[in-house]
Amino acid sequence: MDVLDLARSQFAVTGSLHFLFVVLTLGLAPLVAIMQTWHAVSGKPVWERMTRFWGQIYVINYALGVFTGLVMEFQFGLSWSGLSHYAGEVFGPPLATETLVAFFLESTFLGLWIFGWHRLPKWAHLACIWMVTLTAYASAYWIMVANAFLQNPAGAVARDGHLALTDVGALLTNPALVFALPHVAGAAMLTGGFVVVGASAYHLLRRHPEQGFFATSMRLGIVWAGIGVFVTSGFGFAQFAALSDYQPDKFDGGAPAVSLGFMILIGELFMLAMMFFLLPVVYWLPRWRWTHPILMLMTPLPFVASILGWLAREVGRQPWMINGKLTVADALTPGLTPAMITGSFAAFTLLLGALAIVDYALIVKTVRRGPAGAFLGARDDGAPDPSPAPALSH
Amino acid sequence: MDILWYAVLALLLAGYFALEGFDIGAGMLLPVLGGGAGASGRPGRDRIVAAMAPFVLANEVWLIAAAGVLFGAFPALEGEVLSGLYWAVVALLVSWIVRDAGLWFRRRAGGAAWRAFWDGALCLGSWGLAVTWGFALAGIAGGLAGPPLGVLGGLLYAAAVAAVLAHHGRTFASWRGALPGRPPRTGRALAGSALLAALPALVPLLAAAPGVLGHAADPGTLGTLALTVGPFAPLVVAAQVWVWRTFGSTRATSSTSFF
């Protein structure tokens, strides 16, 4: 592999790892916020325990989203300085806004939420998780603005050898953005919903004493994932019309077409399962233990589909970094040596790969420990837990 | 407009050193302030981590924002700075991730060995951050084109950065009441050590200012950025203030210790 191949592989590996964690973050955040809202409104302790149990899956997953995201942000300058030289004035502002507003707020409010249990007033604490959710989606919007510009450089013209921003409105309402963003959001709902379904199926199958807790979680997860699969499929197919204008040959090659094909296959499988089985029988599903191993086996599939979707979107644009304007070869940092890119590729891949494995092992461990062992929001000053385990009722 | 955005960049980087600086410093001194790296030092180390934990997420994000401003407002410089300091930036990212992994994972499983391992990562990553920042800032002060300050200059700068951050971390831990048996330092002392921690970043930034200002994006782009960021600036500031009002008023550990 030459320097260009290595730099592209580094971006593909760190980008795919990043999205594996981000897609779950985006899918779980609103679900956790809804659970906490339900608790604030109804006062029922089970909803607080659900918030804490699923919330800790959310935060453990969040850690790797940050680690991989750091590498993503700095990688643009390390490997692809040609991009900022040529198009930084158009591509830079969305990324800057994402970090300076959306992620800045998300990180600050997440700290307030995690460490604010028992300290912030109830409604203020609830506002924190909603701010985390809102800013996570704002982040997704700005990142997708930047990505959509690479797909279809709207709102910019070439001037003196670089791109200048001429139409902010066109940049922010790019046809490569307006369908792709809900497509990604729907995929996240499907992924997050099914993680809740799969983990609940595991405990229901093993006859966990808290049947009610996991039955409610499973139903909520199915409905959430069900909405997600309709949104992601609808907006996914809706992209093809606009795509035929700005990238008509996108899926003519092998890898993009195969990725797209398998992604659609997974999507339609979930669509059919939802329409004709899971949603109509959602009330009884927690009791039908024979379905639970199948639900658990389905849980990783939305992650696979998410990565396939990104491969189709990114590989299908080659050899362009900015479609029709700048090739990946021209975007490569001048003077990047094989030693540099090999060294950093090895360092990032080994470190992030190892941490990703540890993180997933911790998520599995946390799921298996069940709600009684929830550490998120647990008091450590000896005061009694405000919500002891409820009676073992259905 | 270019001066305004350079001021924002300088503020974010100085703020990063003043705020995240105490997390890095406390991490560097974790075995020292906590009373050992072994099992016996575990309660002490937990106390130090609990003192800084509620602030870390709100502090480290200042650097992420600074890098974003570099990209958005000074795109011609962004690639030059990051690729010019290639190994320092890679080492900085690795250190940062190792430090953060230590924080996020140390309490996620039982066992003394698990805790000691991730506390080691937290300490090592913090040292890595201080040292690589020393080299990176020496590189910026030297003008990016090769290291005119040399390896020796980088090492000296790294030693200086490590010293001020360690001092800042110790002052913070004391101010939070996480060092039992010693009277807590005052808020004034903490402000002083914060200023000292920001100094190694501010000096190269001021030295580099004349060269940087010529590399700003065109006024239209800077204006757009002001429109997308400006309306939310009060909210960003308010959120940071809220963190300090919530966790800064009470001493020592919070009532829930996640990290």
DSSP A25-41: HHHHHHHHHHHHHHHHH
Q: Are B31 and B37 in contact (CB under 8 A)?
A: yes
Which one of B90, B104, B258 has the shortest CB-CB distance to A347? B90
Q: Chain B contacts of A109, Cβ < 8 Å?
A: 239
Run of H or E including A206: none
Maximum Cα–Cα distance across chain A: 72
Q: Of A341 and B39, which is predicted with more confidence?
A: A341
Sort B209 into a burial class: Cβ within 10 Å, 0-12 / 13-18 / 19+. middle
Q: Give CA–CA dist B110/A33, Å, rounded.
A: 29
Q: Cis omega (within 30 of 0) on the bond before A319?
A: yes
Contacts for B109 with CB less than 8 Å, ≥ 6 apart: A362, A365
| A115 Cα to chain B: minimum distance (Å) | 6
A155 and chain B in contact, CB less than 8 A = no
> Token pair for residue A150?
């690479």
Whether residue A157 lies within 8 A of chain B, CB to CB, comes out as no
**A165: phi then psi, degrees, rounded to nearest 5:** -80, 120
Contact list, B73 vs chain A (CB under 8 Å): 92, 96
Q: Tens digits of per-residue pLDDT, A342-354?
A: 999 999 999 999 9
Mean predicted lDDT score pLDDT of chain B: 90
CA-based torsion, B8, A104, B56, A127: positive or negative: positive
ipTM of the complex: 0.94
Interhelix angle A180-205/A3-42, nearest 10 degrees? 70
pLDDT at A390: 44
- Partner residue opposite B86 with nearest CB, options A78, A117, A168: A78
Residues 8-37 of B with CB under 8 A from A: none
Q: Minimal CA–CA distance to A226: which of A144, A290, A295?
A: A295
Question: How confident is the model at residue B79, as a pLDDT?
Answer: 81
What does the pLDDT average to over B170-187? 90
Structure tokens at B236: 């960003």
- Element housing B106 (H / E): none
Would you state the structure tokens that stand for residue A250, as one six-digit string? 């996108």
Say yes or no: B42 contacts chain A, CB-CB below 8 A: no
Q: Which residues of chain A have pLDDT under 70?
A: 381-394
| Angle subtended at Cα A224 by Cα A223 and Cα A227, rounded to the nearest 5 degrees | 85
Alpha carbon of A98: minimum distance to chain B alpha carbons (Å): 8
**DSSP code of residue A98:** I
Greatest extent of chain B over all pairs of C-alpha atoms, in Å = 59
Structural tokens at position B68: 């974003």
CA distance linking residue A306 with residue A196, whole number of Å: 17
- Cα distances from B76 to residues A83, A114, A162, B133, in angstroms, run 10, 38, 11, 22
Q: What is residue B81's predicted lDDT score, i.e. its pLDDT?
A: 85
CB contact (8 A) between residue A67 and residue B100: yes
Q: Which two tokens stand for residue B121?
A: 């990562």
Domain ranges of chain A: 3-156+166-373
Decide if A313 contacts A16 (C-beta within 8 A). Answer: no
A237 and B CB contact within 8 Å: no
Contact flag B78-A117 (C-beta cutoff 8 Å): no
Concatenated DSSP letters for B6-54?
HHHHHHHHHHHHHHHHHHHHHHHTHHHHHT-SSGGGHHHHHHHHHHHHH
Residue B257 touches partner A, C-beta closer than 8 Å: yes
**Phi and psi based region of residue A160 (left: phi greater than 0; alpha: psi -120 to 50; beta: remaining):** left
User: Who's near A219: CB < 8 A, 6+ residues apart?
Assistant: A282, A283, A285, A286
Q: Do B224 and A85 touch (CB under 8 A)?
A: no
* Interface touch B76/A101, C-beta < 8 Å: no
Least Cα distance to A201 among A181, A222, A185, A180 occurs for A222
Q: Does A371 touch chain B (CB under 8 A)?
A: no
- Overall size of chain A counted in residues: 394
The number of C-beta contacts closer than 8 angstroms across A and B is: 227
Q: Which pair of tokens denotes residue A386?
A: 């405000």
Structure-block tokens of residue A229: 């699969």
What is the token pair recorded at A360? Answer: 């997933």
Asked if A246 has any chain B CB less than 8 Å from its own CB, the reply is no
pLDDT-based confidence at residue B254 (cuts at 50, 70, 90):
low
Looking at the DSSP bridge assignments, the partners of residue A326 are A322
Contacts of A21 in chain B (CB under 8 A): none
**CA atoms in the 13 A half-sphere facing the CB of B78:** 34
- Strand runs (DSSP E) across A268-383, as ranges? 320-322, 326-327
| Bridge partner list, A322 | A326
B4 in reach of chain A (CB within 8 A): no
Q: Tell me how close the Cα of B31 comes to any Cα of chain A, in angstroms.
A: 22
Which pLDDT does position A394 carry in this prediction? 41
Does B96 contact A at CB distance below 8 Å? yes
A172 touches chain B (CB under 8 A): no
- Say whether residue B237 is in contact with chain A using an 8 A CB cutoff: no
According to the model, what pLDDT value does residue B255 have?
60
Q: Report the residue of B1, B23, B61 to disrupt the A interface, i.e. the one with the largest count of A CBs within 10 Å.
A: B61
What residue type is A354 in one-letter code?
A: A
Tokens 């705020």, residue located: B19
Q: Give the pLDDT confidence of B193-228 residue by residue, as tens digits.
A: 999 999 999 988 888 888 788 888 888 889 999 999
pLDDT at B131 over 80: yes
Cβ contact A226:A65 at 8 Å: no
